Amino acid sequence: MFNFADLEQLRRVSSGSGATMWMVRHKLTRRIYALKVIYGNRDDIVRHQICREMDILHTTDNPNLIRCHGFEDRFGKIQVLLEYMDGSSLDGRRISSEPFLADVARQVLTGLAYLHCRKIIHHDIKPSNLLIDSRRRVKIADFGVSRILAQTMDCKSAVGTISYMSPERASTPTSTTAFHDGYAGDIWSFGISILEFYLGRFPFGEKLGKQGDWASLMVAICYSDPPQAPPTASLEFRDFIAQCLQKDPARRFSAAQLLQHVFITQTKVSPFPPSSSSSSYSSSIVSHP
């Protein structure tokens, strides 16, 4: 078990939604980690939810899930020590190469299939929760913490998360106990994220994703046709996205089914060029639009 007093902060990676992410170094081993610090005097129920989510993460073991090395709840803040990914998140990135995008999708689906098989729903799949490193390994992060924090705030302040919410979830207030298939909800969020990588913009429209008002976003998600991959994309990719973005959750493919889709099984990713570093190769096909 880590002693959090043995960590030194190197730099702030990100902040928002009541939490800050730091790049830290363990003083004794000199190893680098990511430290998520969640601030605020939240009620006991919320704090219990967050700690429960961290306990779940601490027990998972899959190469496509961010590893949790420990957490503590002291002095009005929750600290979570996580595996550090040197490539940061895929938020705001465009992935124009279908082979590389298929590899990203395969890795995310592998993590989702692992979670779903263990009856764990992520609830918050989106580009900022998908991390990449210089070896092109992609891992799912943030197991429900953002969702829990968002529920304690005004719903309009959580537009970034709502943007990736499935129609059945968006049409049902999150405070109710109405039933929806959480596994299918993860798949919708995954499909929106993968399509966003390909397009280089939010599939429902740039303004709705970043600046749109809550009501317009809800109407777009619940009542408009699902976004589609453009005609310039391969037939395999277009069908793959279509299977993720079925309005009826019962018709959406599961993570296990998507892993058997032709877009995943027949798309091969080229190995790193011998003369190039993995980080420079990754940056050539994962770029800011």
Measured distance CA(135)–CA(282) in Å, rounded:
8
CB 218 within 8 A of CB 165: no
Three-state DSSP at 235 gives helix
Tokens standing for 180?
Answer: 């929806």
Nearest Cα to 80, choosing from 37, 43, 46, 124? Answer: 37
Q: Which residue in 103, 124, 142, 186 is the catalytic one?
A: 124
DSSP 76-142: TEEEEEEE--TT-B-TT-EE--HHHHHHHHHHHHHHHHHHHHTT---S--SGGGEEE-TT--EEE--
Tokens standing for 51?
Answer: 């700690």
Measured distance CA(35)–CA(224) in Å, rounded:
39
Tokens standing for 234?
Answer: 């391969």
Tokens standing for 147?
Answer: 């969702």
**Is 124 labeled as catalytic in the residue annotation?**
yes
CB 91 within 8 A of CB 209: no
Nearest Cα to 147, choosing from 53, 56, 74? Answer: 53
- Classify the C-alpha dihedral 119-160-142-174 as positive or negative: negative
Task: Classify each residue of 22-36 as buried b or exposed e, where b means 16 or more C-beta atoms within 10 Å of its C-beta.
Answer: bebbbeeeeeebbbb
Q: How far is CA 50 from the centre of its chain?
A: 17
Q: How far is CA 10 from the centre of its chain?
A: 24
Residues tagged active-site? 124
